[in-house]
Amino acid sequence: MPIDDPTTATPSEIDEELARLGIEHAKATDTLNGLTARVQRLVNDGMAEYATELRPRIEQARQTIAGCEAAARPLDAEFERRGGWTRAWLVDNSGRHVHRTMACRTCFPSTRFAWLTQLSGHDETEIVEQAGKAACTECYPSAPVDVRNRPSRIKTPEQLAREAEKAERAKAKAAKAITAPDGTPLRTKGYGQIDTEFTARRSYADALAYARYLTRASIAHHRDTIAEYREDAQLILAALAAKHGRTVDDLRAELAPKVEAKWNREHRNWG
């Protein structure tokens, strides 16, 4: 995300933004080159009028490039102002070595790199510790032999982003989930296993409304079924109270309107 004040940003934050700007700049440059070549072909083929239609897209690409360069300048200036900081790159094709610079003599013009911005500004000892056997011996000649024999714990920014997204999905799923107060699955007689709070609330209202209907229809005939639905309702209520750290009475009062609405909607005019 854009950085308002580079002087207060961490090296990782600055390099992460520089990396983002670099990707955006590269995409816009590819677009510009492709469109420019296309325009030249159209002109050469005597179709200059069609080439005119591409001018707005060319201008947009140029503006994107200029914007990226303008945004990067204060970040690069901050890097220079601080006297630089450690950076690390992971070879993204063969080898998968970690380098302190993309200018390492063991690399080639065709070498693809992933900028490990999460390690920017970190002590080289820590970088080598995480890189393990992936640490480039040319870039980190003083790395201890025992460290170089350890498995690498390095992850690319893309991998970290995927893990963060996975964690967010798990967090969202957990927020919707429901269990019994002791953490075991919430199992009911009439609704089976209930896994989400949405289903729990809906089932609670349904259980009490239906028990009320059976009571009005024939309490003597449906006594056992009525007891089962009321028992389910109590299990669900206890689970909801435990999840939110509230009392059963509090949740019962909150859900009472939903029970009444269920009764009016589905059972009031029957029986």
What tens digit of pLDDT does each residue of 146-170 get?
887 888 888 877 788 888 899 999 9
Domain stops at, among 143, 158, 173: 158
Does 144 map to a domain? yes
Does 198 map to a domain? yes
- In this predicted structure, what is the pLDDT of residue 161? 82
69 and 108 part of one domain? no
pLDDT at 133 over 80: yes
pLDDT at 126 over 90: yes
Domain stops at, among 32, 47, 81: 81
73 and 114 part of one domain? no
pLDDT tens profile 77-100: 999 999 999 999 999 876 689 999
3-state per-residue secondary structure call for 70-92? HHHHHHHHHHHHCCCCCCCEEEC
Does 57 map to a domain? yes
Domain residues for the domain of 112 are 89-158
Does 28 map to a domain? yes
Does 235 map to a domain? yes
Does 164 map to a domain? no
pLDDT at 141 over 70: yes
Domain stops at, among 55, 81, 107: 81
For the chain, the domain total comes to: 3
65 and 114 part of one domain? no
- In this predicted structure, what is the pLDDT of residue 271? 52
Confidence class for position 206, pLDDT limits 50, 70, 90: very high
Q: At residue 83, what are phi and psi to the nearest 5 degrees?
A: 80, 20
pTM: 0.62
